[in-house]
């Protein structure tokens, strides 16, 4: 990586030369709320000394839809479509987390085939979401849309599979309390087989294109570094936490839907910088394909939806269920007072909480580095604001 380091040093030298002027005043720059680098309606207010970030403050709420209040007026089943809209790039994972919380509250056992289908779609969603995350991250690093659209081809095929199964591509509303809404259509498994056959070559192509890329190294190596201790103390989760070397994955630590039956590894990074987050996501896609292979080979027969009364009234109590969504630890905390609707509906949003350390990651770097750091955290504004 000598060339990349040289490029980096040359860039640092230029920046230092630009910022050593005396008598300069800090400049406040607004990124957003509508700005390509902020991945949605998210506003970042940075204070700059020359090119160096002194302070970064985020302003959110532009997409606040008050879902937690709305959910208190709707039955447990009626709330499932809301969870699609929380994180619209990982609707399946959000459906799943909410249904797990509701099932815990209602004491429902899910049939084995439903569990296998849930794992299948959660992992397909991870492939699609990581394709989006890595593609836009490389975009933020300066690659003008080429890798993004390479990865979008894979995402497109996943969304086609969603469409043939549940009729929707983005807001799927596929999981139900007690299972999934529909059985797999006949054409899904051949399509999935073809997808699993094609993906290793595609990933090898991306790796050949990107992993040794000098510009990507110069832009992402050593940028937005966070230590494992700080990451844990800041409640970071998902690829952002694992890039620091902490092997914390809820699929291993607290298996749900039968994840304990599948063989897969938890990829971790070493340095906790933006490049490691990218590498962790690339490696996670491979692990997801491994899980998908095992799901397809061991798909059980039987019902795909448990016998759940339409008018389900859980006993008074509470439940907190978590899944490993593509962005991290996604939890739903439900409180029941015995009524038909949740008394309290709370979503633990990984996108919001992963931003806890954004300021610490950005300070001391350049403005362009702050944008790369924000891209590497992989936020979805719908989930931040809810």
- For residue 89, which of 134, 25, 147, 50 has the smallest C-alpha distance? 134
**What SS3 class is residue 278?**
helix
**Is 369 among the residues that bind other proteins (CB under 8 A)?**
no
Selected range binding other proteins among 2-10, 105-113, 337-345, 368-376, rule: CB under 8 A: 337-345
How far is it, in rounded angstroms, from Cα 81 to Cα 173?
5
Please list every residue from 202 through 231 that binds other proteins, using CB under 8 A.
Answer: 230
Selected range binding other proteins among 13-21, 196-204, 295-303, 332-340, rule: CB under 8 A: 332-340
Identify the residue among 53, 60, 101, 243 touching other proteins (CB under 8 A).
60
**Is 378 among the residues that bind other proteins (CB under 8 A)?**
no
**Is 254 among the residues that bind other proteins (CB under 8 A)?**
yes
Helical H segments across 20-145, by residue range: 67-70, 80-86, 91-106, 112-140
Identify the residue among 102, 279, 280, 352 touching other proteins (CB under 8 A).
352
Please list every residue from 66 through 85 that binds other proteins, using CB under 8 A.
Answer: 66, 68-69, 72-75
| Phi-psi category of residue 39: left, alpha or beta, with phi > 0 → left and psi -120 to 50 → alpha | left
Minimum distance between the CB of residue 162 and other proteins, rounded to whole angstroms? Answer: 29
**Is 20 among the residues that bind other proteins (CB under 8 A)?**
no
Identify the residue among 357, 367, 370, 372 touching other proteins (CB under 8 A).
357
Q: Which is nearer to other proteins, 167 or 364 (CB)?
A: 364
Selected range binding other proteins among 118-126, 143-151, 188-196, 346-354, rule: CB under 8 A: 346-354
Q: Which residues of 313-331 are buried (b: 16+ CB within 10 A; e: fewer)?
A: ebeeebbebbbbbbbbbbb
Q: Which residues of 124-142 are buried (b: 16+ CB within 10 A; e: fewer)?
A: bbbbbbbbbbbbbbbbbbe
Identify the residue among 234, 362, 373, 376 touching other proteins (CB under 8 A).
234
Q: Which is nearer to other proteins, 152 or 333 (CB)?
A: 333
Q: Which is nearer to other proteins, 293 or 359 (CB)?
A: 359
Minimum distance between the CB of residue 211 and other proteins, rounded to whole angstroms? Answer: 29
**Is 86 among the residues that bind other proteins (CB under 8 A)?**
no
**Is 335 among the residues that bind other proteins (CB under 8 A)?**
yes
Identify the residue among 164, 189, 341, 363 touching other proteins (CB under 8 A).
341
Selected range binding other proteins among 165-173, 185-193, 212-220, 343-351, rule: CB under 8 A: 343-351
How far is it, in rounded angstroms, from Cα 142 to Cα 368?
10
The binding track of 106-145 with respect to other proteins, each residue x by CB under 8 A or -, is ----------------------------------------
Answer whether the bond into residue 33 is a cis peptide, omega within 30°.
yes
How far is it, in rounded angstroms, from Cα 23 to Cα 362?
24
**Is 383 among the residues that bind other proteins (CB under 8 A)?**
no
- 99 φ/ψ angles, rounded to the nearest 5 degrees: -65, -35
In this structure, are residues 352 and 81 in contact, taking their beta carbons and an 8 Å threshold? no
**Is 343 among the residues that bind other proteins (CB under 8 A)?**
yes
- Residue 147 burial (CB < 10 Å; 0-12/13-18/19+)? buried
Identify the residue among 61, 185, 300, 338 touching other proteins (CB under 8 A).
61
How far is it, in rounded angstroms, from Cα 361 to Cα 230?
10
**Is 54 among the residues that bind other proteins (CB under 8 A)?**
no
How far is it, in rounded angstroms, from Cα 153 to Cα 209?
16
- Residue 31 burial (CB < 10 Å; 0-12/13-18/19+)? buried
Give contact residues for other proteins (rule: CB under 8 A).
60-61, 64, 66, 68-69, 72-75, 230, 232-236, 246, 248, 253-255, 311, 320, 322, 329, 331, 333, 335, 339-341, 343-344, 346, 348, 352-353, 355-357, 385
């Amino acid at each position: 990586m000598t060339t990349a380091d040289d490029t980096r040093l040359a860039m640092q030298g230029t920046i230092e030369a630009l910022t050593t002027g005396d008598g300069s005043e800090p400049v406040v720059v607004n990124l957003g709320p509508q700005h390509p680098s902020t991945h949605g309606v998210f506003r970042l207010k940075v204070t700059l000394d020359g090119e160096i970030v002194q302070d970064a403050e985020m302003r959110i709420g532009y997409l606040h839809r008050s879902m937690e209040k709305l959910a208190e007026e709707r039955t447990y089943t009626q709330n499932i479509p809301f969870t699609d809209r929380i994180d619209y790039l990982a609707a399946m994972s959000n459906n799943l987390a909410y249904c797990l919380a509701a099932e815990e509250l209602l004491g429902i056992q899910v049939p084995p085939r439903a569990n296998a289908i849930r794992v299948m779609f959660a992992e397909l969603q991870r492939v699609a979401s990581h394709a989006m995350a890595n593609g836009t991250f490389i975009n933020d690093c300066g690659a003008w849309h080429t890798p993004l659209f390479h990865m979008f081809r894979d995402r497109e095929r996943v969304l086609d599979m969603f469409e043939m199964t549940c009729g929707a591509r983005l807001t799927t509303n596929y999981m139900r309390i007690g299972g999934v809404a529909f059985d797999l259509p006949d054409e899904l498994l051949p399509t999935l087989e073809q997808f699993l056959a094609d993906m290793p070559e595609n990933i090898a192509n991306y790796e050949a294109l990107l992993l040794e890329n000098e510009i990507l190294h110069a832009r992402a190596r050593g940028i937005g570094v966070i230590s494992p201790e700080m990451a844990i103390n800041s409640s970071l989760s998902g690829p952002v936490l694992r890039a620091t070397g902490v092997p914390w994955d809820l699929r291993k630590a607290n298996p749900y839907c039968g994840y304990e039956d599948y063989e897969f590894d938890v990829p971790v990074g070493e340095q906790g910088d933006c490049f490691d987050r990218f590498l962790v996501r690339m490696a996670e896609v491979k692990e997801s394909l491994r899980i998908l292979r095992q799901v397809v080979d061991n798909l059980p027969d039987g019902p795909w939806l448990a016998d759940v009364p339409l008018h389900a009234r859980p006993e008074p109590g509470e439940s907190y269920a978590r899944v490993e969504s593509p962005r991290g630890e996604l939890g739903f905390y439900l409180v029941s007072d015995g009524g038909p609707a949740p008394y309290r509906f709370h979503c633990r949003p990984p996108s919001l909480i992963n931003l806890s350390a954004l300021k610490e990651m950005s300070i001391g770097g350049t403005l362009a580095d702050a944008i790369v750091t924000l891209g590497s955290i992989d936020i979805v504004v719908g989930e931040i604001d809810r």
